[in-house]
Structure 1
Amino acid sequence: MPYRCTLLALLLSSTAFATSMPSLSGPPATPIKPVVEDYFGTKITDPYRWLEDMKSAEFRDWLKAQANYADSMLATIPGRAALRQRLTALADAGASVGGIEQAAGRRFYLKTEPGKDGRRLYMHDGKGERLLLDPDTLGSAAAHVAIDWYSPSPDGRLVAVGVSAGGSEDSELRLLELASGKWLPERIDGAGLNSELGWLHDGSGFFYNRLPPADAKGERERYNKSATYLHKLGTPVASDTGLLGYGLDPARPFDIADIVHLDTVPGSHFVLAEVLHGDAVEHSYYIAPLAKLNGSATPWQRIVTPADKVAGAWLHGDTLYLRSNLDAPRGKLLALDLHHPELAKAKTVLAESPAVLREVAVARDALYIRASEGGVDKLIKLVHGGKAREMALPVQGTIRDLSTDPTRPGALLRLESWVASPRVLALNGKGKLADTGLIKPLAVDFKDYAAKRVMVKSHDGVEVPLSLIAAKAIKRDGSHPTILSGYGAYGITMEARFSATRLAWLEQDGVIAVCHVRGGGEFGEAWHRAGYIQTKANTAKDFIACADYLVKEGYTSPARLAGTGGSAGGITIGGAITARPELFAAAQSAVGISDMLRMELTPNGPPNIAEFGTVTREADFRAMLPNSPYHRIKDGVAYPAVIVTTGANDPRVDAWMPAKLAARLQAASNSHKPVILRVDYDGGHGMGSTKSQQVAESADVWSFFLWRMGVAAYQPK
């Protein structure tokens, strides 16, 4: 889409900000070994299929050569070390707290502290704070260990912890006894699909999801063919009872991408089974009497199917609350009596409104509900059997870690915004809000900066939200180094979240912008479906519209604009730079999906078919091909400078996918601008990255951007 430029923006073209190149030879050569496939009569040539064999010595040598080339180029940027030092100082400006849970009057949370690299698990009992687990004590020189998830028992006596090495998210489930501080003997591998456990009421055992053991070739599933089991404390793991899931009962088949989680709560006579159908928004739900659990003979009753468009469910006694999108794309809340579980009998307790219903937390006194409207979260209290009312909050921003204890009144929540640092607040049963003090005020000053949200017309006239963070006194003269990011998948919303390290970019006279493209969940399920399979092209087109707006309104110019997208956002940034390469000085594809035709063949591929489609259906293939970044690249096009980043242990987007994108761009671009592949050999998709890993990547990517934008302090000599 053409954009209108001011005279000043024309003057600030790529020739106005001179960039210099380090004296390095070109990137390592990538042999072309074409493979041709026929998809419904369309022949597709893949020149770099061989890179998909990540176990081959040729791939490993090539990847190392690319990583060394990237490291050598980044090392020539003079401002990089100072930027990294500033990022480190900001990252250590105060403690970060998240993952808050409650049990037996105790508060549990993960904390990243100044001078410490990984997230550590803490417990606060009202008298003081106690360190429960430092994952650094479990690591080695070869790989760090991260806490992937944890789940306290309802009596607060034990904590189950999922830990993994090297950012792999391949969790091992272990049990920590709080009184002694010692590990129990149980160790359960293949536990990477849990985020919490379904503890029995008395804490004597728990339900958990587990992946199957390795096959005869030593290959293991990472996302598929899982099932749920019941473990009783003190018994051998090998004797755990299989309850529901793939391969357990021929009479109740599940697809390979189905993920089952079981839960029950004190005061309930039922066990709730939630079935995630890969990455689909719509789930299935089963119930069974807790007293009648009996392995594969358990009398499960399916009460919700995907056709019912239910995206979340929560137990309170023998009532099940359901978040439904049926005829309500922004969500409504239903209540269902499990003694009469016909969904048609469910009562609407919170009707659809302009606010999007996000999540529900169940306490003894009420449901605490997070909803969002216009980029701002609301907290709604719905008393059991009573009416809903909105609770006043001290900051307009995002609620995260909404946490309750079903046996106690009130809730905990973390509240933050783009420019307001997080606070952990406690809301008691009487509606009084107080700061818990779990997070101390940060020594970071954002008083000279402000955030705002504007609406931008996209290619088809639809208005797309754009969040901007910039100096209050910004001069809109087109000169500001600007990072524009976008995502656009799974119905995930790009929320207003605080980051102290963001200040390091703003101090470069920079602007941070977030384009809330279609495919996300900003306006509910309809927004998601507007960037989904057949409509997927809207994500990149919305991103381009936001980039055009930033230029037209004088925030930046193409010479000082960088775009970035990560994971599924790799489709967004890949689509943008291949459609409008002249609009960006630089770009980052971070652990990004780039080959949509081959994604479904990866370990994480089957779950993603629900979101992106499959090449086995012609209609899907016809939609996927023109949105696949790898296949959009054309020879002889002047692409911007690109830094592609990956983790060698990434379980979600295999490292070969970013590798193929980098190789193709290196071969195709005639702009003579660098394309490099940065590899973290102790990293994965980012979930388990340490603070120092996050700082190092930001320093590398941002200094690369600033170099290509012509900022003087970053020009190699």
Structure 2
Amino acid sequence: MTDARVDTVVDTVFGHRLADPYRWMEEGAELREWALAQGAKTAEHLAGLPLQQELRARMDEVTSDTVEVTGFAMAGDRVFFLRQTGAVPVLVVREGDEERVLLDPATIEGDEHTTLEFFAPSPDGRLVVCGLAQGGSEQCHVHVLDVATGELTPTEIRHSLHGHPEWLPDSSGFFCHRYSTPDPAVPPGRRRDDSATWFQPLGGEPTIALRRGHNPTLPMEPVDRPYMLLPKDSELVFALVSHSASSGSTTEELTAFSLYATERAGLADLTSCPWRKIIDRTDEASAYAIHGDTIYVVTHKDAPRSEVQAWSLTDGTRRTVVPGGDRSVIGVKVIGDHLVIRDIEAGTARMRRMSLNTNEIEDVPLPEGGMVAQWTAHPDGKSALIVFSSWTRSATAYRYDGELHDTGWIPKSTVDFSGIEITQLRAPARDGVLIPMTVLHRKGILLDGSNPTMMSGYGSYGILLRRAFNPRLLPWLERGGVYALAGIRGGGEYGEEWHQAGRLLNKENTITDFVDCAEHLINTGYTSSRRLAGHGGSAGGIPTGGALVRRPDLFAAMVSEVAVFNCTRKEFSANGPVNAPEFGSVSTEDGLRALLIIDSYLRVVDGTEYPAVLLTAGLNDPRVAAWQPAKMAARLQAATSSDRPVLLRVEEHGGHGLGSTRAQRNGVMADIFAFLATELEL
């Protein structure tokens, strides 16, 4: 590999000397040139691995008949969803028993592939707001699609990342969030300041609806992101102000946010209408459901795994309706005459319902051992669509009206996981806490320490990694490889208390949990250090990078996809400031201390015998800037004293992975498994 140019910049922050030999990668065209050269050499290396072509062919085979269906939305008598059988998901509408494709982004011309990142049908089902992005960038140009004709009309709304469109009840226009046009003169860390929600009337020009300084009764900081909400059965309209990174939902799995309300008449003049605060960030809420003059709030304040409270929107009174317990509450919806509660118990999906008349609570039976990939209430409030999946069971779409009814809308995958066994473990952390871990492997394996094993972990934002059907794991498992998913602290396996135990100054737990889970796999005979690899993506670079620099002897290989490593510099990237509440900020002494825990780039030591490393980067990544994995690759290549490779795999026309084509996703997983098959001697 070509050595990267060294031009060390030293920052002294609160007495800490932070030396950065590759700061130049954060700006200018030189990074792109170096990264593409690295990517070409990595591609050559991976193409020469013994199993690469065979694994890629098998990856294409197991995904060829798997129909991926996501993003269900209902309007009028129509059901809309995304279905992927080809390169990218297409937008489909279902009317009665008939389906038709409304939009195939693959037919849209452009320099890079186009994907539909978000969509929202109008209440009457005649139109659909579509956010279209190129090259995996997630940066959308918003269009309006006519369901009857298929005509796609562009609007003036651009640079929309998670636009969360919200239609007026009469379908005459919609609200959509966007960022300002990027200005090269503005530092990257400030380019997403003062984002706004715009109102787009059909046939008219868009205007700003929500923004910092737009209305004195709706206070915001520069980093805050405002969204408009118009619940169907409420006389109020709402503004949600997100203060930190979120899961992408505006109703559940939220972190720090505030919620405001005003009368519907306030839509006539959003600069002067009086907004009143309903939920403050100090309420420690994570989800809610609005029903008439009541808002049901999921809060973890004084309830470590969350409870559900009913708040009056008229007089502000509050009462607990679902007390906290062992389960963690993810979200709530009012369906019929019940409040339906979506739970997680040690990473497994559960569901309950509470009668709005009697307050009695009972379980809603779900298939065992999986996850609710999506749940969407019908606009009439009488039913919902619930998509369920598990490790060995492909997704099923159920209609829920008090009972689950298989709609048959998602074809069953023919990929056969019958030869795969699932084992639930509890790995002891060094402080005695038991870490839940799921292990997948071929039936009948011997626990003699000889099994090549890939262990994944994430552990941030209170997010729970998907325990879902994934045919891309099968080429690894059927060859005798083991896959383990560690539910390390910082994630959502046990609710907010689990999240807080791996956040900010507690972030060392996220890393040591990952190490302790790896050692448990070794101690129980699944694998050995010479046949063990760590794996993580995005914020999963914190446990993988942290374990790599603390215990390089424990792993034969480490794989990190589009991951963050140089955390003391993250807030200086476009997506960095919203992550400060989760990870810390160099602007405060405690914030710096928290960041130094997770900055694995600064902990790389020259002359250390590091294991084999494969890092991936997307040059269009809007979440983790490509210089994060690039700097880590350069630093490890310069520092390692071993003969094991340090590779940087680069997607020139890719981003964080959410807008990848099927070929791109198959390609990266085939390359990862080929790399591990060689390094772990599969």
| Aligned counterpart, 2:309 | 334
Native 8 Å contact 2:230 2:236 kept in 1: yes
Alignment of 1:175-254 (within 5 A): 175-184=144-153, 186-194=155-163, 196-215=164-183, 217=185, 223-237=192-206, 240=207, 242-249=208-215, 252-254=218-220
Native 8 Å contact 1:283 1:312 kept in 2: no
RMSD: 1.7
| Aligned counterpart, 2:525 | 554
| Aligned counterpart, 2:426 | 455
Native 8 Å contact 2:116 2:130 kept in 1: yes
How far off is 1:347 after superposition? Answer: 2.2
Give deviations 1:324-376, integer Å, cap 9, x for gaps. 11111211112222222x3xx12222221211101123334433321011332
How far off is 1:419 after superposition? Answer: 1.5
> For residues 183 and 441 of structure 2, what CA distance do their matches in structure 1 show?
53
- Asked if 1:258 corresponds to 2:229, the answer is no
Give deviations 1:3-25, integer Å, cap 9, x for gaps. xxxxxxxxxxxxxxxxxxxxxxx
Moved more, 210-219 or 481-490: 210-219
| Aligned counterpart, 1:137 | 107
Shift in CA distance, 318/197, structure 1 to aligned 2, threshold 3 Å: farther
Q: Secondary structure at the match of 1:635?
A: coil
- Asked if 1:698 corresponds to 2:666, the answer is no
> For residues 177 and 32 of structure 1, what CA distance do their matches in structure 2 show?
54
> For residues 216 and 414 of structure 1, what CA distance do their matches in structure 2 show?
42
Letter in 1 for 2:643: H
Letter in 2 for 1:302: K
Q: Secondary structure at the match of 1:330?
A: coil
Shift in CA distance, 32/249, structure 1 to aligned 2, threshold 3 Å: same
Letter in 2 for 1:263: L
> For residues 165 and 333 of structure 2, what CA distance do their matches in structure 1 show?
16
Native 8 Å contact 1:359 1:369 kept in 2: yes
Give deviations 1:96-131, integer Å, cap 9, x for gaps. 111112221322111111xx1101111112221111
Alignment of 1:580-599 (within 5 A): 580-599=551-570
- Asked if 1:37 corresponds to 2:7, the answer is no
Letter in 2 for 1:596: C
How far off is 1:214 after superposition? Answer: 4.1
Native 8 Å contact 1:483 1:511 kept in 2: yes
How far off is 1:252 after superposition? Answer: 4.4
> For residues 498 and 347 of structure 2, what CA distance do their matches in structure 1 show?
14
Alignment of 1:371-520 (within 5 A): 371-386=343-358, 387-428=360-401, 431-520=402-491
| Aligned counterpart, 1:69 | 41
Letter in 1 for 2:366: L
Native 8 Å contact 1:222 1:651 kept in 2: no
Alignment of 1:359-374 (within 5 A): 359-374=331-346
How far off is 1:250 after superposition? Answer: 5.7
> For residues 675 and 97 of structure 2, what CA distance do their matches in structure 1 show?
47
> For residues 318 and 290 of structure 1, what CA distance do their matches in structure 2 show?
14
Native 8 Å contact 2:394 2:413 kept in 1: yes
> For residues 148 and 474 of structure 2, what CA distance do their matches in structure 1 show?
42
Q: Secondary structure at the match of 1:505?
A: helix
**Unaligned runs of at least 5 residues, structure 2:** 247-254
How far off is 1:218 after superposition? Answer: 8.6
How far off is 1:259 after superposition? Answer: 1.2
Letter in 1 for 2:172: S
How far off is 1:394 after superposition? Answer: 3.1
Native 8 Å contact 1:366 1:409 kept in 2: no
How far off is 1:205 after superposition? Answer: 1.8
Native 8 Å contact 1:651 1:685 kept in 2: yes
| Aligned counterpart, 2:583 | 612
> For residues 152 and 174 of structure 2, what CA distance do their matches in structure 1 show?
16
| Aligned counterpart, 2:249 | none
How far off is 1:276 after superposition? Answer: 0.9
> For residues 196 and 356 of structure 2, what CA distance do their matches in structure 1 show?
33
Letter in 2 for 1:501: R
| Aligned counterpart, 1:316 | 291
> For residues 243 and 464 of structure 1, what CA distance do their matches in structure 2 show?
45
Shift in CA distance, 252/128, structure 1 to aligned 2, threshold 3 Å: closer
Native 8 Å contact 2:287 2:330 kept in 1: no
Q: Secondary structure at the match of 2:656?
A: coil
| Aligned counterpart, 2:142 | 173
How far off is 1:582 after superposition? Answer: 1.3
Native 8 Å contact 2:217 2:276 kept in 1: no
- Asked if 1:666 corresponds to 2:637, the answer is yes
> For residues 59 and 427 of structure 1, what CA distance do their matches in structure 2 show?
51
> For residues 360 and 120 of structure 1, what CA distance do their matches in structure 2 show?
29
How far off is 1:388 after superposition? Answer: 2.9
Native 8 Å contact 2:6 2:21 kept in 1: yes
Moved more, 389-398 or 167-176: 389-398
How far off is 1:421 after superposition? Answer: 1.5
> For residues 217 and 511 of structure 1, what CA distance do their matches in structure 2 show?
49
Q: Secondary structure at the match of 2:18?
A: strand
Letter in 2 for 1:409: K
- Asked if 1:675 corresponds to 2:646, the answer is yes
> For residues 10 and 232 of structure 2, what CA distance do their matches in structure 1 show?
58
Q: Secondary structure at the match of 1:246?
A: coil
Moved more, 453-462 or 679-688: 453-462
How many residues end up aligned between the 2 structures?
671
How far off is 1:219 after superposition? Answer: 8.3
Native 8 Å contact 1:361 1:402 kept in 2: no
> For residues 59 and 250 of structure 1, what CA distance do their matches in structure 2 show?
43
How far off is 1:452 after superposition? Answer: 2.2
Give deviations 1:488-543, integer Å, cap 9, x for gaps. 10010123111012111101101110111100011111111111110101111001
How far off is 1:574 after superposition? Answer: 0.3
| Aligned counterpart, 2:598 | 627
> For residues 660 and 654 of structure 1, what CA distance do their matches in structure 2 show?
11
Native 8 Å contact 2:456 2:535 kept in 1: yes
| Aligned counterpart, 2:81 | 109
| Structure with bigger RCO (C-alpha 8 Å, 6+ apart) | 1
> For residues 566 and 185 of structure 1, what CA distance do their matches in structure 2 show?
34
Letter in 1 for 2:102: L
> For residues 38 and 675 of structure 2, what CA distance do their matches in structure 1 show?
16
Moved more, 301-310 or 647-656: 301-310
> For residues 500 and 277 of structure 1, what CA distance do their matches in structure 2 show?
36
Q: Secondary structure at the match of 2:567?
A: coil
Q: Secondary structure at the match of 1:188?
A: coil
| Aligned counterpart, 1:536 | 507
| Aligned counterpart, 1:298 | 273
| Aligned counterpart, 1:156 | 125
Moved more, 531-540 or 387-396: 387-396
| Aligned counterpart, 1:11 | none
> Identical aligned pairs, as a percentage?
38
Shift in CA distance, 218/258, structure 1 to aligned 2, threshold 3 Å: closer
1:60 to 32, 37, 47: 32
Native 8 Å contact 1:364 1:405 kept in 2: no
> For residues 334 and 78 of structure 2, what CA distance do their matches in structure 1 show?
17
Letter in 2 for 1:160: V
Native 8 Å contact 2:195 2:225 kept in 1: yes
- Asked if 1:98 corresponds to 2:73, the answer is no
Give deviations 1:274-331, integer Å, cap 9, x for gaps. 1110227231110000122212101111122111111222222232221111111211
How far off is 1:380 after superposition? Answer: 1.8
TM-score by length of 1: 0.91
Native 8 Å contact 2:197 2:209 kept in 1: yes
> For residues 184 and 560 of structure 1, what CA distance do their matches in structure 2 show?
54
TM-score by length of 2: 0.95
Q: Secondary structure at the match of 1:620?
A: helix
Moved more, 669-678 or 326-335: 326-335
